[in-house]
Structure 1
Amino acid sequence: MSDRYQVDGAEGEFEPGSGGQVLRNLVGIQTPDDMDELELLLLSQLYDEVLLQQLPDRTLSAADLKHWHQLWLGNVYPWAGQERSVNMGKGGFQFAASGQIPRLLADFDRQCLSRWTPCGALTPDELTEAIAVTHVEFILIHPFREGNGRLSRLLADVMAVQAGREPLDYSSWEQRKPAYIGAIHAGFSNDYAPMCRFVAEAMAAGNDSHKVSEPA
């Protein structure tokens, strides 16, 4: 994990014995592989609860995102579900300053979540734009110490399912990671067109993969 972010402050502390590779945690995990495995297992449980058992077919809020983060990582990190208190950067790009997060999340609530969710009444083009802008803005804020990218994908999937679509297929995002990161950076200048293209691809692939998996 040490190569993911540049972090200052207490939330940058690492688990003793991990060689600076794993964040200090509540379960004593010391290797990145073990932590990745645990986080993935817990994330699958979160997806099951949010998407399958209790889909929030209503207006979403930043409080929902904090709740999901707590459900996911609350038994792993003491700061799960809380806005980060440290400044963070990645690959020379700085995310929002920690002191700005409360204001930015309030803006995100008003300008994205309250504006577009629930997504059932959106046209396909409106849904694409809604997911793209929401995804970019959430990533730029980066409100949590860890797990922002994965939580932003869950949010995109919830928005898609609210609109009667399947969850997105993110394989093209992984295959074209530099272009995806470029789309995020473009959003910093309010240019969301690159991310709209990524979202449109992921939505089409998600619905196509579901059709293939359906019995004849």
Structure 2
Amino acid sequence: MAKATRSADQADSLHEQVLNNKLSITAPDDINDAELFLLHKLYKHLFLPELTVSKLQFSDIRNWHQWWFSTLYTWAGELRDVQMSKGGFPFATPQAFTKEIPRFETQYLNAFPLLPSLPEDEFIQLLARCHVDFVLLHPFRDGNGRIARLLLDVMAVKAGYTPLDYTLWNDNKVFYFKSIQAGVAGESQHLERLIRDALPQRQ
């Protein structure tokens, strides 16, 4: 439980402005605390007493988002319908979801039952490509980074590891962002390094 909780604690970003929410929360610290509390509950639901995920589809990821955010936001679990970017980096258009989500599911999620048998190097390469593609897809209005990390954690536990320790990622955000950009260009070795450093020993 401690390792799953630690992973949930390592949020990728905090709100400086508060999105409209069901609880009429207006203070950034309060909405961040609420999101973290609910993320803890989601981690416990998925990982305790053991991983409850036996197969993985994109609908499961939407369900995680809905389960996490439904207390706070009306759009929990819904795919975004507006174009988004960050730091001049454009994410996939909503119109591309009909093609890109099935591709993501086929390329990564369908491999879920095979993860325990993958050699570590091959597994890390798969995680790196999966993470880059999910970040680029950016399917939700908010919470994409934390859901992307949850997906890595679920895949890691399925493969016989414990959830990743993202401390190094949080301490080196510029390198992480550049690693994502390099991954989009087909150079995933930098993100593979980050994943290898964050991945505990296989159990």
> TM-score, normalised on structure 1?
0.82
Q: How many residues align?
A: 189
Query: Unaligned 5+ residue runs, structure 2?
Result: 1-12
Q: Does 1:169 align with 2:158?
A: no
| Residues 35-184 of structure 1: pairs in structure 2 closer than 5 A | 35-53=31-49, 55-184=51-180
Q: CA RMSD in A?
A: 1.9
Q: Deviations along 1:107-134, whole A, 9 cap, x unmatched? A: 1001111135451111111211121111
CA distance in 2, matches of 1:87, 1:125: 35
3-state secondary structure, aligned to 2:101: helix
Q: What is aligned with 1:9?
A: none
Contact 2:115–2:155 (Cα < 8 Å) also in 1: yes
Cα shift at 1:22:
1.1
Query: Unaligned 5+ residue runs, structure 1?
Result: 5-19, 211-216
> TM-score, normalised on structure 2?
0.87
Identity %, equivalent residues: 40
Amino acid at match of 1:190: G
Amino acid at match of 1:58: S
CA distance in 2, matches of 1:102, 1:108: 11
Contact 2:22–2:74 (Cα < 8 Å) also in 1: yes
CA separation of 1:107/1:179 partners in 2, compared to 1, >3 Å: closer, same or farther?
A: same
Amino acid at match of 1:150: R
Contact 1:112–1:130 (Cα < 8 Å) also in 2: yes
CA distance in 2, matches of 1:159, 1:117: 10
CA separation of 1:53/1:99 partners in 2, compared to 1, >3 Å: closer, same or farther?
A: farther
Cα shift at 1:57:
4.5
Contact 2:46–2:53 (Cα < 8 Å) also in 1: no
Q: Which moved more, 1:40-49 or 1:111-120?
A: 111-120
3-state secondary structure, aligned to 1:146: coil
Q: What is aligned with 2:196?
A: 200
Q: Which has the larger radius of gyration?
A: 1
Contact 1:88–1:94 (Cα < 8 Å) also in 2: yes
